[in-house]
Structure 1
């Protein structure tokens, strides 16, 4: 069981789902991933998925300014000093998409785009450091950047966050290393899909989860296949948000 009580600078620490109907999302992901949910309040519509009492990821109604866009999972990266890091985004080749914002006492965030257009959220922890549990069924386990220019994107993240790119294959995929740990990867996209961060969730049985997804109203986007990291499939929930599942 991979329990976490903190994240070092530059490491992925949280994911959440921007969706149209949060009750419908709970009805889909609850049985799919074996999670329960906190109850939103009138003042705060944000909902957190739980494994027991451990916070593992979040979901929220899609903001009004994103109305009409497909629903999506978004990725967070922990940083030690949000002001200093956000101030360097432009000089490193990225684009700030808004000011640094306080999220009550939970932390501070900045939304940024890398040079290829993939969006990620920088997070300075307050009371919320990130997922309490990873690499277990229904929790995040890997993050992959699908991009039009691996070198440009990795140049940005290396300058901003200190990442190291390690070649994985002859097709241009690289592993992302922080210190001695691999935390994700970046791979060339095929041009049909805009650059984005894909979220991978660990599951105990990839094929069973694919069947469950379809039974719950979701779809299989990429059928289950065996790759060196494990058996994996790309799925879409019943509102269209896409994600990967993998059984290592």
Structure 2
């Protein structure tokens, strides 16, 4: 288990959230699958729900406004020591701003960006709220991965923004690069030559996806189906654990993974 008590180093995935068309159904699905409880922040916060594990925040969700497109995904936020400064660095490297840097009720400062080769991602400069307080254990995220048709420019973009070191993984024809912080800590991966079909769409697009740790990948797949979700790929074993590609009842893709006991994160 990793208990987070302060802001993560810059460039570390630190928070997740999602917009859904039916908040009650989402709470039932994810609560059953991942053991989450939920706290509604009230109308002044747009009824943003904090998803908690043993009383500690691990993610967020809210109901999408009716006039927004029917496309949903888990959004990953990267820790930023200076949100405005990282936005400036990212736009200088080619990013577009979806939501400019803004304060969030004294909890922190956030922004949302897109890059042509890297999909959408967020930044989080924690103040009272450092981000997910539990990671790398069942019910929390354990890994984040970018699927993109063109891995080279995507990797160079994120290296320019966060100073990542790039570690290509030579496995057959697979185009995969691991991202490391300057201190050597692994923080995510980039898989080239691919994309994800998001809910409501019909063509693969560049997108980040999240691996949620579970106690049993096969049992998690059964829970996904029982909860009205679907399975894109049945559980398989890897050196890093047993995992499956699934979708929630709204078509949102994510992974469930039973990490190997000695797998680094």
**TM-score per shorter chain, which class?**
over 0.9
The equivalent residue for 1:203 is 214
Task: Please report the RMSD computed on the Cα atoms of aligned residues, expressed in angstroms.
Answer: 1.4
In structure 1, C-alpha distance between the alignment counterparts of 2:139 and 2:54, rounded to whole Å: 12
Contact conserved, 2:151 with 2:193, CA < 8 A, in 1?
Answer: no
1:50 aligned residue (52, 57, 61) = 52
**Unpaired runs of at least 5, structure 2:** 196-202, 260-265
1:87 & 1:36 partners in 2: Cα distance? 36
- Aligned position for 2:176: 173
Per the TM alignment, residue 71 of structure 1 is displaced from its structure 2 partner at its CA by 1.8
The whole-number CA distance in structure 1 between the counterparts of 2:16 and 2:105 is: 18
- In the aligned structure 2, how far is the partner of 1:90 from the partner of 1:40? 32
Q: C-alpha displacement at 1:42, in angstroms?
A: 2.2
1:34 match: 35
Query: May I ask how many residue pairs the two structures share in their alignment?
Result: 247
Which residue matches 1:120?
A: 121
Aligned-residue offset at 1:87:
1.2
Judge conservation of contact 1:115–1:152 (CA < 8 Å) in 2: no
Contact 2:245–2:253 (CA<8 Å) still a contact in 1? yes
Query: C-alpha displacement at 1:112, in angstroms?
Result: 0.8
Q: Deviations over 1:16-57 (max 9, x none)?
A: 121111111001111111111113412221101111111111
Could you tell me which runs of 5 or more consecutive residues in structure 1 were left unpaired when the two chains were aligned.
none
Answer yes or no: is the 8 Å Cα contact 2:118–2:146 preserved in 1. Answer: no
Counterpart Cα distance in 2 of 1:115 and 1:89? 12
Please state how far the C-alpha of 1:117 moved relative to its aligned partner.
4.7
1:185 matched to 2:193? The reply is no
Structure 1 residue 169: Cα displacement: 2.5
Query: What TM-score do the two structures reach when normalised by structure 2?
Result: 0.89
3-state SS in 2 of match to 1:146: strand
Aligned twin of 2:155: 154
**Distance in 2, Cα, partners of 1:98 & 1:213:** 32
The answer to which of 149-158 and 33-42 deviates more is: 33-42
Normalised by the size of structure 1, how large is the TM-score?
A: 0.95
Partner residue of 1:227? 238
For residues 220 and 167 of structure 2, the distance between their equivalents in structure 1, rounded to whole angstroms, comes to 31
- In the other structure, the counterpart of 1:3 is 3
Aligned to 2:77: 76
Q: Which moved more, 1:54-63 or 1:145-154?
A: 54-63
CA contact under 8 A between 1:143 and 1:197: conserved in structure 2? Answer: yes
**Aligned with residue 218 of structure 1, among 223, 229, 232:** 229
Q: Distance in 2 between matches of 1:42 and 1:186?
A: 37
